[in-house]
Amino acid sequence: MEKSLLIIFVKNPILGQAKTRLAATLGKKKALMIYKKLLEKTHQETFGLTCDKKVYYHAFVPENDLWSKGEYHKAIQIEGPLGEKMAAAFQEAFQSGYHKVAIIGSDCYDLTSNHLQLAFDKLNEADAVLGTSQDGGYYLLGMKAFARELFENIAWSTSSVSQETLKALKTLNKTVALLPELNDVDEVEDLGPWAEEWLYKEDRKEI
């Protein structure tokens, strides 16, 4: 039986360390509130998936938090650039016997369980699956075999990430299926109506 794994990269929700670009405009407290909402939404959309799920934290692994609810395994990201962190997580997954592996972050409020299920379904036919974001990056990458080249020589956090990844897949002669383009939340302009409660409500609870 084929084993599938969803890797979820998150930042520990610490004041001043989450959504720093939002914090530069909105302040640290509002930015943290927004990030906590993104984490809750990501948990909501991944909770019911039948695949295995593993959350990788950027700083430390808490004993009891949002991801303690349900079948979530926990780990910490390795030290180093983003590409090295993701490559290590993928490599560990395939070495553990998984046949389909996909990775997401926690910045895409528009991502749904349907998108995630579609990603694994597309891996039945394609070697890889990519969900591009409107800023030129991607919100999901999935594959059936580890390919370190997808994490090397990529200008991370730029508008060329998805195109460079597609180019690398083509060089490797990998077939790729695309998911609908969605919006990552990095700047104030990326926020939708769901964020208004935290941005405009006067009587807010303290964090």
User: For the chain, first and last CA: distance in Å?
Assistant: 45
Look at residue 201 in the predicted model and tell me its pLDDT. 57
Residue 43: how many CB atoms within 10 A of its CB?
Answer: 20
In a domain, 129, yes or no: yes
Domain residues for 70? Answer: 4-200
Higher pLDDT, 201 or 70: 70
Going by pLDDT thresholds of 50, 70 and 90, the confidence category of residue 207 is very low
In a domain, 50, yes or no: yes
Higher pLDDT, 19 or 173: 173
Q: In the chain, how long is the greatest CA-to-CA distance?
A: 55
In a domain, 155, yes or no: yes
pTM value > 0.85: yes
CA neighbours within 13 Å on the CB side: how many for 40? 8
Cα gap 158→135, rounded to integer Å: 8
- 46-58, pLDDT tens digit by residue? 999 999 999 999 9
CATH code for the domain of 178: 3.90.550.10
In a domain, 206, yes or no: no
Cα gap 27→158, rounded to integer Å: 23
Cα gap 157→107, rounded to integer Å: 13
Going by pLDDT thresholds of 50, 70 and 90, the confidence category of residue 206 is very low
Going by pLDDT thresholds of 50, 70 and 90, the confidence category of residue 198 is low
**Considering the chain, what percentage of its residues have pLDDT values greater than 90?**
73
In a domain, 94, yes or no: yes
Q: How, if at all, do strands 128-133 and 176-182 pair?
A: parallel
**Considering the chain, what percentage of its residues have pLDDT values greater than 70?**
94
Cα gap 175→194, rounded to integer Å: 36
- 121-139, pLDDT tens digit by residue? 999 999 999 999 998 999 9
In a domain, 205, yes or no: no
The tokens for 121 are: 């379904």
The domain tally of the chain equals 1
Q: Which of 72, 125, 136 is nearest to 100 (CA)?
A: 125
- 74-89, pLDDT tens digit by residue? 999 999 999 999 999 9
Instruction: Yes or no: say if 162 and 132 are a contact pair by the CB < 8 Å rule.
Output: yes
In a domain, 73, yes or no: yes
Look at residue 81 in the predicted model and tell me its pLDDT. 94
Look at residue 69 in the predicted model and tell me its pLDDT. 72
